[in-house]
Amino acid sequence: MMLLRKALAVTSNISLIAGAAIGIYAAVKTYLLYRSLPAGMCPIDPNRPWLYAAAALCVLSFILSFFETKKVT
């Protein structure tokens, strides 16, 4: 049982890091695209899948954090 909880904790941390990295990538890509588009164009549309993936990974990390072992100090 402890091995499963530790695996969930590791999975939670990895998904949070991956979600943050994808979110930063999407934000930078959106900013760079925004600078080159004419007025009235939306830079979010081409990056929407990246933003959804980042949000999904962060939500997954949040849900998995409820099953981690609690450290008592």
Tokens of 71: 């450290």
Res. 73 pLDDT band, cuts 50 70 90: low
CB within 8 A of 34, min separation 6: which ones? Answer: 43
Cβ atoms within 10 A of the Cβ of 18, count? 16
Residue in the block written with tokens 């164009």? 41
Does position 63 have pLDDT exceeding 70, yes or no?
Answer: yes
pLDDT in tens, 21-62: 999 999 999 888 888 878 777 777 788 999 999 999 999 999
| For range 6-31, the mean pLDDT | 92
pLDDT surpasses 70 at 72: no
Q: At residue 11, what are phi and psi to the nearest 5 degrees?
A: -65, -40
